[in-house]
Structure formats: structure tokens, C-alpha cells
Structure 1
Amino acid sequence: MNDTYLLPNGVSVPKLGLGTWRIDDNKVAQVVRDAAQIGYRHFDTAQGYQNERGVGEGIRTCGLSRDNVFVTTKLDAAIKTFEGAKEAIDGSLKTLGLDHIDLMIIHSPQPWMDFREGEHFFEGNLAAWRALEEAYAAGKLRSIGVSNFEAVDLDNLLENGSVKPMVNQILAHVSNTPFDVIDYTQKKGILVKAYSPVAHGKILDNPQLAAMAESYGVSIAQLCIRYCLQLGMLPLPKSANAEHMRVNAAVDFEISDADIAALKAVDRIKNYGDASLFPVYGGKLQADGTLVARD
């Protein structure tokens, strides 16, 4: 938690962060305070999580100076206009109750209804990116980036934007590591943040990983988090349980090259449990707001 990555603009970001997806707004402030006491200094939220207010409260009341905390939030995936993004950025600042945001990113190249359906929304992403660039220049945002972007989506901003994305936050974990996107992103000098590094908990009963974790004297979750770190990514394990948060941060060990190779080859997980309905895990959001499994 004390180690950092250096973003392309010179901003330092803690190498391990706390994810807050699906933690209720009225509970997340205490989760943030607990995590800060344990030693976490990096907290990840989003407009779509509907818990920015609570995260901001936790940041303001955790006993740490603002300069010692790194806060990430995300522009709602449906916002693909300059004015809409500009208004939403100011909205996040107000909801969080902070005078600046350390990192703000476009949550998805597509609105969730259209996620991975073929359309890349190049014009809309550039419009939203211009709003982020403007807020960055104004000092409202210390860094800017993207999430769930594929190579072609990154190229759109790299070739047409004024500021290079500093982060690409993607789904990445043992058994589902998109090496092509990771390699492309890193070759462009962009930091990869890995959300769901423990596969939404659905990899914890894997006997192969259990045996390997035992050989290191660690948990499967620790093994998975360390795997992401050794691939040069910034993992964002999510937990509301203080003991789990403490264990997740105890990853000061080294996985051997042979074991890293074995972890890269683990059979891909196909069932994320109740999360399987969400677009990033293979589900689909319909026009009426319901979530369904893809065909």
C-alpha cells in the first residue's frame, strides 16, 4: 500500500486500491474509514455505483489529510457529449464533497446497453474526453483516463485528443487476463488498473490455485492480487470486511516465473455468479433497465 506507480504526468498513485462497487452509499463511508485505518490510500468509486456521496464522506472523515488520499471516480458510461460530461464532472466534485478528484475516467467506451455490440462511439468519447481534458487543465482533476477500452478505443483518443489517457481500468484476473489489451495499453505508456482481481470471488474454490497459494503460505485472494501486481497492473480488490481488506493488502511475497506462467494458463472462468448479468461480466443491460444473460 506504500508503493506507488508514477502516471505519465508525474502523479503518484498507490499500487493497491480499494474497490467499492455494490457497497451501499449509507455504508461505504465506514468502509473507507476502516480501510484508511488499515493503510489503504487509494479508493475507487463511480457515478454508476451511486455511492460517491458516502465515499466522499469517508475520505473527509478518515483522519487523513486530503493530499494523502487518492480518489478515483468514473464518468457515467451513457454520457457521450461535452456538455453532459462537463456537468457530470462538476456533479461528482459536489457529490464527493471534494475540491479535486485525483483520477476521473470514462467508465466504458459504450453505454452499458450497447456494451461490446460493435459500435465504438468514437465521436462521443472524444467529446467526453475533451470535457475531462478541460477539467484537468483547470485543476479539478489531477489525472484522467478510461475504463474497459480496447485498442481501437484507445487509439481514438491517442490520435485525436490533446492529453494521453493515463489509465485504462479493465477486468483482469487469473483465468481471465486480456493480455492483448494489457500489452497494448502498457506499450503506450498507460497504467492498467485491474478491477475484480479475485474474479468477484468466484475463483476462490479453484483447487489448482488453492494448492499453489498453500505453497506460498497465502490465501487464493492474496495470490490473485499479487499476480496482477507482478504483471504491472494496479489491482482493486473490493471488500467491506475489515479483516478481508487487511489480508488483501498483505501481498509482500513473490510468485515464481514458473507459477506466473501456470497462472496465465488457468482455464477461463465462465460463471461470475450474480455478477454474470452485468455487461462487463458477459451480461446485457436492456432498454427497460433489466439485466439478462447474453446468448
Structure 2
Amino acid sequence: IRPIIESDKEGKTINIVHAPERIIPGNMVYELIHNSRTIGCDDRSLGERIKTLYSSFCKGEIVVTNIRTAEMTKVVENTYRDINIAFVNELAKICRYDNMDVYEIIKIANMHPRVNILQPGPGVGGHCISVDPWFLVGDYPGLANIILAARKINDSMPEFVLERIHNIMKENGVKDIGRVGLYGITYKEDVDDVRESPTLQLLDNMARHLATGIKVYDPLIKRPIVENQFTDFDQFLEAIDILVIMVGHQHIKKNVDRIKDKVLFDTKNVLPIQESYKL
């Protein structure tokens, strides 16, 4: 935006300040107040003035630096998370291929004091983690190799989930994809944000294969945004034999007793049902 601003400055001195956010949907106000902040600026003295302004409400540490560093820090934070998620998603694929329990392996490995492996999932969504790494891939082609590989791995997970669904259908004698239901449309639990969500990515993959009919439900999404979307949970359950947990909303955790008669594929490993299929 700098060229746009400076093209219309009419002799004025323009200083730009960039303070990237570090908040998560569902907990915005708390994180706005308590998370540390980075202030990038052209002029250090102006940055200190902005720091004073932020200090009036922000209890976290506030760091003043230059704009490029502030911008890069924001992108790096989300890229780091994307790479860590990609590692465990690839591990899940390896364990599925060689018939090992990825969740037990993660649990034991995390007993090491310097290991903290995340949990695998059906993909990466939202408008930060799934987007920011591409800035580095685009700006530094040939250098951002691990970053690109991580993006490809995470983008492949909805297709991996779809393959698992087809295998589970065969194992249980379910021939009609219309008897399968996806629980969750949002990109993360307990928010109503659907940007880049793994469920929408999975549905896009199905559309490319000309596959239709799969049922969809999300307790937080009342407006119709996809085909075969239900707004009533009971009607949704009546229409399906296989239930695929794509998002770990609190709603589904409180309704475990209502889904025990379904073939369950828990991609998030959030429900206490031993007989369920996992990634």
C-alpha cells in the first residue's frame, strides 16, 4: 500500500506503521489485550508513540521494529504452525499406510521433554495459516522448499479424508455417498468462519469428480452455503449411516449418545468412542 499512499501525499511527510494482529476467532478480545504485539514503523520515535498507545490496553510485551521485520514475523508465525501441522499430517499418512496407531505414537513421543507433536486433522483452513506461507513461496521460489512441501501436504488432507470415506463405505457395505454426513463446515471448532475450511475443500474435490449427494451439517452455520446442508441435527442424523467428524465443536461432544448407532469416522480424534475410525 506504500506506493498508493505516497502517490497522493501532496508534499506531506508520510510515515507508515504496521502492527500485525495475533488474535484467534472465538477469543479475540482476550488475545487483543493479553498477547504480545509487534509494531513495525518507518520512524522509531513514531513507533514508540504507537507503543504508548497500545500500552493503554495491551498487557503483553510490545516490540518496536522496522516494517519489513514486522511483516515477516507475522508470516513466519503462521508458516511455522503450518509446517508443524504438515509434519503430523504426513505422519498420519505413514502410519495409515503401515497399519500403526498415529495417536499412540504421538502420545509416547510427546513424553520426551523436548518433543511436542500436534494432532493430525482433515486439513488446514482459515485466512492465515493456509494463506500466509504462499507469500514466502511466491517471493522466494526455489528457497521456500519445506514451506511449499508443507502446503502441499496440508492441502492434500481433504482428498486423503475422502479416500478414507470411500474405504469405510466399502467396509460397512454403504454404497450410496448420500448416506454419508460431514459434521462441521467451519475451519475450526466453535466459530462460524468457513474461510478455506477443509470441509469446503473436500466438497470441491468431490465436485471435480462429479460426486454429489453427501450430507452436511454445522450447528454454527444456519445460512445455506453448500448443497445438501441440514439445519436440523436430528434430520441430519436420520439421513445418514456414516458420520464424519470434520470439526470438533463442543456441540458434538455434548451429543455423543445420539450418534452411537452411526458408523463414526472421527478425523479430529475428539470423541470418546473406541469403535470409531480415525485418520
Q: TM-score, normalised by structure 2?
A: 0.29
Q: TM-score, normalised by structure 1?
A: 0.28
Q: Specify the structure having the higher radius of gyration (Cα).
A: 2
Larger RCO, structures 1/2 (Cα 8 Å, 6+ apart): 1
